[in-house]
Amino acid sequence: MSTYDVEIQDAAAGVVVASLAGELDLTNASQLEEQLHAAAENASRLVLDLNRVVFIDSAALHVLFKLAGSKDADLALIMEPNAAVSRTLDIVGMKDAVRIVRSLDELGLDDR
């Protein structure tokens, strides 16, 4: 069973940031989905920091696409171009489904 870690915190009014680390795959995708849906429940925007994710498979990608299409909260991803999963998310066209930024500052939360 692969391991991952998620740290959830409020970043601004209505904005929740979930920092993910480790491996996201079939063994933990449903648990991850539950955690992220719960985090988004009272948020207007859910931001996932993927910089410390070292592996992501199709099951976890499916969770991200489902969240992107959900009406629960606006989804954004924080990911450096050299992040371990950057190429994978590029191949599947994640940038067409959600906004991807390099840092929380790029989201302009102070303007909300």
Give a yes or no: residue 47 inside a domain: no
pTM score, whole prediction: 0.92
pLDDT digits (tens, 9 = 90+) for 9-62: 998 889 999 999 999 999 999 999 999 999 998 899 999 999 999 999 999 999
Structurally, the chain folds into a number of domains equal to 1
Domain range for 13 is 4-42+55-105
111 pLDDT exceeds 80? Answer: no
Give a yes or no: residue 92 inside a domain: yes
Record the tokens describing residue 39, joined without a space. Answer: 């985090």
Report the CATH number at residue 83: 3.30.750.24
Rounded Cα distance, 52 and 44, in Å: 24
Give a yes or no: residue 36 inside a domain: yes
Record the tokens describing residue 101, joined without a space. Answer: 């930024």
Rounded Cα distance, 76 and 79, in Å: 10
Give a yes or no: residue 112 inside a domain: no
